[in-house]
Amino acid sequence: MAIETLLLVPVDINVWKAGTAGPPDPTQPDHGVIAQKGDALTICIDGTSQNPPSIAPNQPVWKISQMQSDGSYSSTWQQIGTGPRFDYTTTTSGVFELEAVFFGDDAHASKYLRKADETGQGQTVSYNKKGTPDAFGVTDTAIQIAIKHSAGINLGSAAYDVGTNHPPSFPPGSDKCNLFVADKCNDAGAIVPWINGLNPFKPYPPTANQWAGTDPKNIPNWTLLPANALPQPGFVVSDPNSLGSGHCGVLDYDGWGIGAGVTYHVSKRYPFFPESRQRQYSP
């Protein structure tokens, strides 16, 4: 049987930051592959094997597709390398899907897939399941990675539930998505000024509508990106709501927003969409 026939069966693909032990544990809350632009990623077929299967040395051809501003992925796949295992030095920031193409057969390319259902969300969701396409993230700055980690380790946490009390400004019954964003960014060292409040002893962090720019109050050190900006992990993303207070979160490695909702614990339920706007920490 020809090797081309054998390779019609999808192969397992792993990605991890070059120089680290191997792929991240997908069952941990803050998993996912993330790197700063210029860092190298190790890309490999056949699991974490140090000795990938012996096939033609120029196979497969690795291609990536970047997440667009509306959350969809580009239909253009860009070639980034060849061979069963190679180190890819990242050159562009963003969120990327990855595929391995054998012998030019794009129709049967093997995709980089999620190894486990999304975890740490407190509740099961019907998406981001094991076997659906996964992605890796590349950031402009190191602090974006820190922001992403700071939010990610809180997945599943009840600390920002609507019923919680965060004196003096957030009594039980108040939405706390903006408090979550401010706290997690501050924890990561990205200062979010508490710009609201008449009483200096009772300030409030920026609201979701302010993060989204529909409420024009300035948020110092946080640049409001154009509506067509390509998503990156560690951006603050916000969904304005003219009929309500909106919703904000932090973009994870795969472009999904991590946020504190009113119905669930801190969770990853927010795909990126055109109504949303992003901000980047740029002191």
Partner 1 sequence: MKFILMFLLAAITGSSDLAAQQLNNNQTDAVKQLLTAIEQGMKAQMPDAPDAVAERPALLRRIPEYRTLESEIDALWIPAFRNLATVAPTETSQLILVQAAGNMNPENYVNFLNDIASRYEQRSISEALLNRAINPDGKLEYILADNYQNRAVIEFCQRAKRIFANNPQMISMFDAILSGETEKGIADMRRGGGLNLPEIKLAQRGPLLSHTPNVSPLPAATSSPVPANTPSPTAAAPAVETEAPSHTFGIVVGVILVLLVIGGVFAWMRRRG
Q: Which of 232/267 has CB closer to partner 1? A: 267
Site residues (CB under 8 A) for partner 1, limited to 85-114:
none
Q: Contact at 8 Å (CB) between 221 and 127?
A: no
Q: Of 17, 115, 184, 247, which one interacts with partner 1 (CB under 8 A)?
A: 247
Reading the block at residue 102, the tokens are 């054998």
Q: Tell whether residue 156 is a contact of partner 1 (CB under 8 A).
A: no
Choose among 231, 234, 244: nearest CA to 276: 231
Among positions 89, 123, 218, 282, the unique one binding partner 1 when judged by CB under 8 A: 123
Is position 128 an interface residue for partner 1 (rule: CB under 8 A)?
yes
The answer to the question of residue 271 lying near partner 1 (CB under 8 A) is yes
Select from 19-27, 84-92, 142-150, 235-243 the region that touches partner 1 (CB under 8 A): 235-243
Report the amino acid identity of residue 24. P
Query: 97 and 121 in contact (C-beta within 8 Å)?
Result: no
Interface residue with partner 1 among 5, 51, 54, 199 (CB under 8 A) is: 199
Q: State yes or no: residue 127 binds partner 1 (CB under 8 A).
A: yes
Tell me if 119 contacts partner 1 by CB under 8 A.
no
- Picking from 203, 194, 196, 248, the residue whose alpha carbon sits closest to that of residue 221 is 194
1 lies in the site for partner 1, by CB under 8 A: no
Helix intervals (H) in the chain:
3-6, 142-152, 177-187, 208-211
Near partner 1 by CB under 8 A: residue from 132, 218, 282, 283:
132
Q: Which stretch binds partner 1 (CB under 8 A): 81-89, 135-143, 201-209, 225-233?
A: 201-209
For 210-241, letters b (16+ CB in 10 Å) and e give bbbbbeeeebeebebbeeebbbbbbbbbbbbe
d(CA 265, CA 121): 7
Q: Of the candidates 12, 157, 215, 221, which one interacts with partner 1 according to CB under 8 A? A: 215
- The answer to whether residue 218 forms part of the interface with partner 1 (CB under 8 A) is no
Pick one of 164, 186, 221, 223: the residue that binds partner 1 (CB under 8 A). Answer: 164
Q: Is 196 a residue that touches partner 1 (CB under 8 A)? A: yes
Residue 241 touching partner 1 (CB under 8 A):
yes
Should residue 133 be labelled a site residue for partner 1 when binding is judged by CB under 8 A? yes
**Which residue's CB is nearer to partner 1, number 35 or number 248?**
248
Q: To the nearest 5 percent, what fractions of the chain are helix, strand and coil?
A: 10, 30, 60
3-state secondary structure of 146: helix
Greatest Cα-to-Cα distance within the chain, rounded to the nearest angstrom: 77
Q: Do 278 and 251 contact (CB within 8 A), yes or no? A: yes
Q: How many CA atoms lie within 13 A of 72 on its CB side?
A: 5
Is residue 170 close enough to count as binding partner 1 by CB under 8 A? yes
Report, in Å, the least distance between residue 169 CB and partner 1.
Answer: 7
The contact set with partner 1 (CB under 8 A) reads: 71, 123, 125-128, 132-133, 158, 161-165, 169-175, 195-199, 202-204, 207, 209, 215, 217, 239-241, 243-245, 247, 261-264, 269-271, 273, 275
